[in-house]
């Protein structure tokens, strides 16, 4: 049994690897990750831009475009390996069992068609509705996601809607067939804070009402803290830490996670004092260093970090981190807060 009280995850990702085969070399964008998402729960996948979060989401949907290719692993949706399905079988799973809210709704909605069309198409394909019935359900879904005057808006084209409304349309499309899992890739990017709050409240309500599991892909740790039960931190194609949200925020055990949390603005931050940043740069994905990929930016790196790649090590309960310096952190975390802050 897991902390969620369920024996089996609705979505299990095992040793997933997605590489891009370029003229300059192979880019391991997703390089052997393991994740689990449970019914009615939300998992946050966080990290800097370019760490592999969005490629992970596209890999789950099997929508990676060349020169990218899923090279190994398993993606088990309710026990069925999606990577072993034919393309025709996978098309049937998309929307019906696995939905996705893409990062930019303006590029995801066809500008030549009114917004009701993708809803009607999904409902007819996956729920076998006649066109009049599908149109009626499309209007109901638009109303359910908070779009005013849904009958009129259903006939609108994407360019006639605000960013928030387009995002709501994408949520309606993703949820039209009541998928078991919803992948939300930066669902509030480029939206003002008021609309962000509305979108996230909508996702929570729909999750509560339908039991849909959510994989929330974001760089915003605040969104994860408010909307997820568990969190996985990615760096350079790897998951470097996994934990329940409260555990990770209270006791981050990977230097990269600690750096991300230090960079989050706080209300009690001293005025005029700059936020702390993570020194250095993300490694070139074509020339990844041996050993730990974060070691060049880590002040606690030891010889072993350059020689051997760390794997996720259990710290206790459902908390794990890929770091060889765990004993050092035990000492650091025992120090007074003021001293610890200076050290970290």
3-state helix vs strand vs coil in the chain, percent to 5: 40, 20, 40
Per-residue pLDDT of 243-267, as tens digits, reads 999 999 999 999 999 999 988 877 7
Residues 131-145, mean pLDDT to the nearest whole number: 92
Write a three-state SS string for the chain.
Answer: CCCCCCCCCCEEEEEEEEEEECCCCEEEEEEEEEEEECCCCEEEEECCCCCCHHHHHHHHHCCCCCCEEEEEEEEEECCEEHHHCCHHHHHHHECCCEEEECCCHHHHCCCCCCCHHHHHHHHHHHCCCCHHHHHHHHHHHHHHCCCCCHHHHCCCCHHHCCHHHHHHHHHHHHHCCCCCEEEEECCCCCCCHHHHHHHHHHHHHHHHHHCCEEEEEECCHHHHHHHCCEEEEEECCEEEEEEEHHHHHHCCCCHHHHHHHHCCCCCCCCCCCCCCCCCCCCCCCCCCCCCCCCHHHCCCCCHHHHHCCCCCEEEECCEEECCCCHHHHHHHHCCCHHHHHHHC
Note the pLDDT of residue 341: 37
Per-residue pLDDT of 32-65, as tens digits, reads 999 999 999 999 999 988 899 999 999 999 999 9
Per-residue pLDDT of 209-236, as tens digits, reads 888 999 999 988 988 999 999 999 999 9
Q: Which of 153, 116, 163 has the alpha carbon at shortest distance from 137?
A: 116
**63-72, 173-182, 196-205, 281-290: which range is least confident on average?**
196-205
- Which carries the bigger pLDDT value, residue 220 or residue 199? 220
| pTM for this predicted structure | 0.87
- Kind of pairing between the strands at 319-321 and 238-244: antiparallel
Q: Which of 91, 149, 139, 146 has the alpha carbon at shortest distance from 115?
A: 139
Note the pLDDT of residue 343: 35
Q: Bridge-partner residues for 36, per DSSP?
A: 12
Check if the beta carbon of residue 181 is closer than 8 Å to that of residue 212. Answer: yes
Per-residue pLDDT of 83-135, as tens digits, reads 999 999 999 899 889 999 887 766 778 899 999 999 999 999 888 999 999 99
Confidence of residue 77 (pLDDT cuts 50, 70, 90): very high
């Amino acid at each position: 049994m897991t902390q969620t009280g369920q024996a089996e995850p609705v979505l299990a990702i095992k040793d997933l690897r997605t590489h891009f085969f370029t003229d300059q070399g192979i880019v391991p964008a997703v390089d052997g990750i393991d994740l689990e998402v449970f019914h009615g729960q939300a998992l946050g996948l966080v990290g800097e831009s370019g760490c592999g979060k969005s490629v992970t989401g596209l890999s789950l949907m099997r929508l990676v475009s060349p020169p990218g290719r899923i090279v190994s692993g398993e993606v088990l949706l309710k026990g069925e390996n999606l990577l072993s399905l034919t393309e025709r079988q996978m098309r049937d799973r998309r929307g019906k069992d696995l939905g996705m809210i893409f990062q930019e709704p303006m590029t995801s909605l066809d500008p030549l068609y009114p917004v009701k069309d993708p809803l009607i198409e999904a409902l007819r394909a996956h729920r076998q509705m006649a066109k009049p019935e599908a149109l009626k359900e499309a209007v109901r879904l638009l109303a359910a996601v908070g779009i005013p005057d849904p009958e009129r808006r259903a006939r609108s084209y994407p360019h006639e809607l605000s960013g928030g409304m387009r995002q709501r349309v994408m949520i309606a499309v993703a949820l039209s067939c009541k998928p078991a899992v919803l992948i939300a890739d930066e669902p509030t990017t480029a939206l003002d804070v008021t609309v962000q709050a509305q979108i996230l409240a909508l996702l929570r309500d729909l999750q509560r009402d339908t039991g849909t599991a959510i994989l929330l892909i974001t760089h915003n740790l605040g969104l994860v803290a408010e909307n997820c039960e568990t969190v996985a931190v990615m760096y350079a194609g790897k998951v470097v830490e996994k934990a329940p949200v409260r555990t990770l925020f209270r006791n981050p055990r990977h230097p990269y996670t600690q750096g991300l949390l230090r960079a989050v603005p706080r209300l009690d931050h001293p005025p005029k004092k700059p936020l702390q940043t993570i020194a250095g740069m993300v490694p070139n994905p074509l020339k990844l260093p041996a050993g730990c990929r974060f070691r060049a930016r880590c002040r606690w790196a030891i010889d072993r970090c350059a020689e051997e790649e760390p794997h996720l090590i259990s710290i206790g309960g459902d908390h794990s981190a890929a770091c060889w310096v765990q004993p050092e952190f035990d000492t650091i975390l025992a120090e007074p807060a003021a001293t610890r802050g200076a050290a970290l």
